[in-house]
Amino acid sequence: MKNHIKTIAFDADDTLWVNEPYFQEAEKQFCQLLENYLPQHSVSQELYRTEMKNLHLYGYGVKGFVLCMIETASRISNRTVSLELIDRIIAIGQELLQKPIELLPGVPETLEQLKGKYRLIVATKGDLLDQERKLKNSGLESYFYHIEIMSDKKVSDYQKLLEHLDCKPENFLMLGNSIKSDILPVLELGGYGGHIPYHVTWTHEQHEHNLKHDSFIELNSIDSILNYL
């Protein structure tokens, strides 16, 4: 891999900064709000069901999450939920959109090491404005040559990104916390993937199998990529 890599793309949420714990905290608040209708774990299951049903319409991000919470509240309360409760759901979402950026350990140091040697990219899903805000507040913007906020991370989405960057798959390394979205599609295209696990993963992104592939590396932390380059 050493001599091939020219472009390194980073996933953002739970790779550069904390994200999923904020979503889980928001979901917990939502489940508490609705516990008069259903036990909290059932509210959580209902919310996930709504999210999966709407994913193809809303994509990823906080705004779709809020709409899914409202739809779930309406359904499980049999359309009796109060407007006050809807207001509280909206507030949960607005709070999520204003969370401080907490960088993960080793992130600025690693980018500093790679800067100038590789073309560094961010490739993330999520709401456009929210991801732009997070990037701006992260203080990391200046490390990146290009920021790609993607509606999905399927093979075809990465193919478009590589074409846009005029980058061959064999010169491309993607680093991220989701095997499913950050690694598998890139390997399928002939690129390299480095998995940096994070302690919590959204159910939709979970991947159970042990991955073995010549172009795949399992990392303990973001800075361990420096040992492979």
From candidates 8, 13, 81, 171, binder to Mg ion by CB under 5 A: 13
Task: Please compute Rg for the chain using Cα positions.
Answer: 19
Q: Using an 8 Å Cβ cutoff, are 183 and 195 in contact?
A: yes
**What separation, in Å, do the N-terminal and C-terminal C-alpha atoms of the chain show?**
7
* Closer residue to Mg ion, CB minimum distance, 14 or 27: 14
* 131 scored as a contact of Mg ion (CB under 5 A): no
- The minimum distance between CB 133 and Mg ion, in angstroms, equals 17
From candidates 7, 14, 30, 111, binder to Mg ion by CB under 5 A: 14
The span of 78-86, 113-121, 136-144, 175-183 binding Mg ion (CB under 5 A) equals 175-183
The C-alpha atoms of residue 161 and residue 148 are separated, in whole angstroms, by 8
* 148 scored as a contact of Mg ion (CB under 5 A): no
- The minimum distance between CB 121 and Mg ion, in angstroms, equals 14
* Closer residue to Mg ion, CB minimum distance, 13 or 27: 13
Q: Using an 8 Å Cβ cutoff, are 131 and 21 in contact?
A: no
The span of 5-13, 26-34, 42-50, 91-99 binding Mg ion (CB under 5 A) equals 5-13
The span of 108-116, 147-155, 171-179, 207-215 binding Mg ion (CB under 5 A) equals 171-179
The span of 10-18, 50-58, 73-81, 220-228 binding Mg ion (CB under 5 A) equals 10-18
Q: Using an 8 Å Cβ cutoff, are 76 and 37 in contact?
A: yes
| Nearest Cα to Cα of residue 107 among 85, 139, 62, 75 | 139
Query: How many C-beta neighbours within 10 Å does residue 139 have?
Result: 11
* Closer residue to Mg ion, CB minimum distance, 88 or 180: 180
Residue 146 token pair: 């290009």
* 46 scored as a contact of Mg ion (CB under 5 A): no
The C-alpha atoms of residue 196 and residue 219 are separated, in whole angstroms, by 5
From candidates 177, 186, 187, 225, binder to Mg ion by CB under 5 A: 177
The C-alpha atoms of residue 196 and residue 46 are separated, in whole angstroms, by 30
Q: Using an 8 Å Cβ cutoff, are 75 and 53 in contact?
A: no
- The minimum distance between CB 88 and Mg ion, in angstroms, equals 28
* 11 scored as a contact of Mg ion (CB under 5 A): yes
- Considering CB under 5 A, how many residues would be counted as binding Mg ion? 4
Residue 68 token pair: 């899914």
Which residues make up the interface to Mg ion (CB under 5 A)?
A: 11, 13-14, 177
